[in-house]
Amino acid sequence: MAAGKMHADEVETDAALVRRLLAAQFPQWSELPITPVRSAGTDNAIFRLGDDLAVRLPRIHWAVGQVHKEHQWLPRLAPFLPRAVPVPVVMGAPAAGYPWHWSVYRWLPGANTTLEGIADPCQAALDLAQFITALQRIDTTGGPLAADHNLRGGPLATRDTATREALAALQGMIDGAAATAVWEAALQAPPWHRAPVWFHGDLLVGNLLFERGRLSAVIDFGGLGVGDPACDLMLAWSLFAGESRDVLRAALAVDDATWTRGRGHALSQALIFIPYYVDTNPVGVGNARRLIDAVLADYRANS
């Protein structure tokens, strides 16, 4: 696999391609500097365009629908959210050998961080709880239902086969017995019985931006949908620990069943990620390993 590629069958992208696409469709930007953005993100290639814009191109066929989803929904959701989210500026068309639609967005300042890089972890937990609560309060009319689009907000059972295959693939690398116990507890937890709500779908450390230690933006809404919000609890283990994790749960008033399903989502995401990306995405694999460690430590401490 070529250097920089995440998938064996992905479409190759580089600054020269972005330049050709811009020249053909948006020539007003075609002379601006184009800089690849290093990211552990797997679905899209991102390039900074000048100081104020970013170009985002799907790498792989399953990410193609995210372009239209974000253009349709982010402008509608953004006014109701307490932190910045990506603002689509224009949608590009297939051209110059690139087969899919692509996007130009406003550039959002900030950087990913770890728990150690957050000025006040408990305040960050409150900020994220405020964001999640605001998202869940938005009218869901017409929103993409998780069950119809194979999104994370659907029943956990839909992820059972892939999760167990990943458990088998990671035999000897993790505590398989504990991981299996966490997963089976999540499967057995009562399902979401309330009205479906908006969820982000991929709230992990790579999709949170911080400035000066404070949450500034939430990015990458490709997994956005309407359903069970337990999947948005993945960040409880991917970013927080101890008191800050407790603060997040309390601020969201999460019941035991939803918390258990959320822990299952966190574990499943990390388990499935590692075998697929073990040779192509060391940053993402490192994040996934830490997420598994956090989930299993929490399970042992509370069981």
Q: Where in the chain is the domain with CATH 3.90.1200.10?
A: 115-301
Given a cut of 90, whether residue 3 has pLDDT beyond it is: no
Q: Where in the chain is the domain with CATH 3.30.200.20?
A: 15-106
| For the chain, percent of residues with pLDDT exceeding 70 | 98
pLDDT digits (tens, 9 = 90+) for 172-226: 999 999 999 999 999 999 999 999 999 999 999 989 999 999 999 999 999 999 9
Mean pLDDT of the chain: 94
Buried b (16+ CB within 10 A) or exposed e, 232-261: bbbbbbbbbeeebbebbbebbebeebbbbb
- pLDDT band, very low/low/confident/very high, at 51 (cuts 50, 70, 90): very high
| Residue appearing with tokens 């330049």 | 19
pLDDT digits (tens, 9 = 90+) for 77-134: 999 999 999 989 999 999 999 999 999 999 999 998 888 889 899 999 999 999 999 9
Given a cut of 70, whether residue 40 has pLDDT beyond it is: no
| For the chain, percent of residues with pLDDT exceeding 90 | 85
Given a cut of 70, whether residue 1 has pLDDT beyond it is: no
pLDDT digits (tens, 9 = 90+) for 123-155: 999 999 999 999 999 999 999 999 999 899 999
The architecture of the domain spanning 115-301 is Alpha-Beta Complex (3.90)
- pLDDT band, very low/low/confident/very high, at 279 (cuts 50, 70, 90): confident
Tokens of 255: 């019941």
- pLDDT band, very low/low/confident/very high, at 11 (cuts 50, 70, 90): very high
The architecture of the domain spanning 15-106 is 2-Layer Sandwich (3.30)
- pLDDT band, very low/low/confident/very high, at 18 (cuts 50, 70, 90): very high
